[in-house]
């Protein structure tokens, strides 16, 4: 019985010792620390198709130094197109094609941006726009709010980068 207890304790001690070796303990942190070289200002440039609605197409292109222009178009009805420009500075800019609307964009991290949509002076929607690991899919979380800022709904839309 003592021999078995000694064997179990020795095995537990050995396992704990190997788990505590610095190189093994640091491996996950080293992998997590790999730098993401995605440039959030340019990674979205191109045409993006809504995965479920062919009448919702996003086109990102460069605007001024370090900025971006987004145009949302409806191929079936071009009169519904709208657009805005951003320098990713969180400052509200007018939305062309949507009177009384403004949009502000901020960088969260290399893969994600936060988009605030304002209409008639009130923020009514926040969009979290996140790129996939391969930068070929955008996942948008649309968070709608009432006049008091209370969340009234959340929807999700996926956009796929159009192949050239």
pLDDT at 11 (0 to 100): 44
pLDDT at 33 (0 to 100): 54
Contact call for residues 133 and 112 (beta carbons, < 8 A): no
Distance CA 82, CA 4 (A): 75
Contact call for residues 48 and 162 (beta carbons, < 8 A): yes
Contact call for residues 68 and 88 (beta carbons, < 8 A): yes
Spatial CA neighbour of 103 closest among 67, 75, 136:
67
Per-residue pLDDT of the chain (164 residues; tens, 9 = 90+): 554 544 444 444 444 334 434 444 444 544 455 677 899 999 999 999 999 999 999 999 999 989 999 999 999 999 999 999 999 999 999 999 999 999 999 999 999 999 999 999 999 999 999 999 999 999 999 999 999 999 999 999 999 999 97
pLDDT at 2 (0 to 100): 53
Q: Which pLDDT tens digit goes with each residue over 32-59?
A: 556 778 999 999 999 999 999 999 999 9
Q: In what order do the strands lie in the sheet with 46-50?
A: 82-86, 67-73, 57-63, 46-50, 151-161, 137-145, 122-131, 112-119, 101-109, 93-94
Q: What is the mean pLDDT of the chain?
A: 85
Distance CA 61, CA 46 (A): 7
pLDDT at 116 (0 to 100): 98
Place of tokens 């995605």: 38
pLDDT at 164 (0 to 100): 77
Q: Which pLDDT tens digit goes with each residue over 131-143?
A: 999 999 999 999 9
């Amino acid at each position: 019985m003592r021999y078995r207890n000694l064997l179990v304790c020795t095995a537990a001690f050995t396992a704990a010792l190997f788990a505590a070796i610095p190189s093994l303990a640091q491996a996950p942190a080293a992998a997590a620390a790999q730098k993401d070289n995605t440039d959030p200002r340019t990674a979205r440039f191109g045409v993006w198709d809504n995965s479920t609605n062919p009448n919702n197409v996003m086109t990102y292109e460069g605007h001024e130094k370090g900025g971006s222009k987004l145009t949302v178009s409806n191929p079936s009805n071009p009169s519904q197109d709208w657009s805005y420009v951003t320098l990713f500075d969180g400052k509200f800019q007018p939305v062309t094609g949507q009177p009384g609307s403004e949009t502000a964009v901020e960088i969260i991290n290399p893969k994600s941006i936060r988009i605030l949509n304002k209409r008639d002076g009130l923020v009514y929607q926040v969009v979290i726009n996140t790129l996939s690991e391969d930068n070929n899919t955008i996942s948008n979380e649309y968070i709608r709010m009432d006049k008091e800022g209370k969340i009234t709904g959340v929807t999700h839309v996926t956009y796929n980068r159009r192949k050239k």
